[in-house]
Amino acid sequence: MTRLIFLGPPGAGKGTQAKTLADHRQVPHVSTGDILREALSKQTRLGIKAQSYMDKGELVPDILVQEMVQERLSQLDAKHGWILDGFPRTVKQAVFLEELLEQLDQSGERVVSLEVPDDVVVVRLLARGRKDDNEEVIRRRLEVYRAETAPLIDYYRDRQKLLTVNGNQSQEEVTDELQKIIA
């Protein structure tokens, strides 16, 4: 049963690796960004609520993101496994997720932390060429990651659920390493 949570700084390759692994394992790749975009495009109840925050330039509140994740993990295709990418981002969200997985009888998840040095992340993100990706913005995003998301590494390590992968390799090498550690 594949139930994995991907962690790592922006530009670590979480989305790419999660999608590749989900396709290989034939389980859904559950990306909170994708869930949000779909909810917005379909104008679901949660999508409409989220839009009101985004229109004001605010972050979508935890409670809404948690509801979206709960709704997605409750769907039939997620019953036998999934790969989560982009959630949880905080210890508070991790506690919520742990309780949700128990309710859904889906516990037994493992957490993959893709480790990539900050300087490598900066180079990768600058190479994407997005207009909002300048070095100052990228370094700020890394600070936010270290402050808010990195504590999840200790949280999951303390629960013996953490698997660490060197994300500073070629895409193929990272995929191979992932395949070996979650076999």
Known binding site for ATP: residues? 11-16, 128, 169
State how beta strands 29-31 and 2-7 pair.
Answer: unpaired
Q: Give residue 116's identity as a one-letter amino acid code.
A: V
Residues contributing to the annotated binding site: 11-16, 32, 37, 58-60, 86-89, 93, 128, 130, 141, 169
Q: Cα separation of 139 and 107, whole Å?
A: 34
| Inter-residue contact 23 to 16 (CB < 8 Å) | no
The residue among 168, 164, 116, 161 whose CA lies nearest residue 142 is 116
Residues contributing to the annotated binding site for AMP: 32, 37, 58-60, 86-89, 93, 130, 141
Angle at Cα 29 formed by Cα 24 and Cα 144, nearest 5°?
Answer: 125
Q: Which helix (H) or strand (E) holds 82?
A: strand 81-85
Cite the DSSP H helix spans in the chain.
Answer: 14-25, 32-41, 45-55, 62-73, 91-103, 118-128, 135-144, 151-158, 171-181
What the block records as the tokens of 140 is: 């700020």
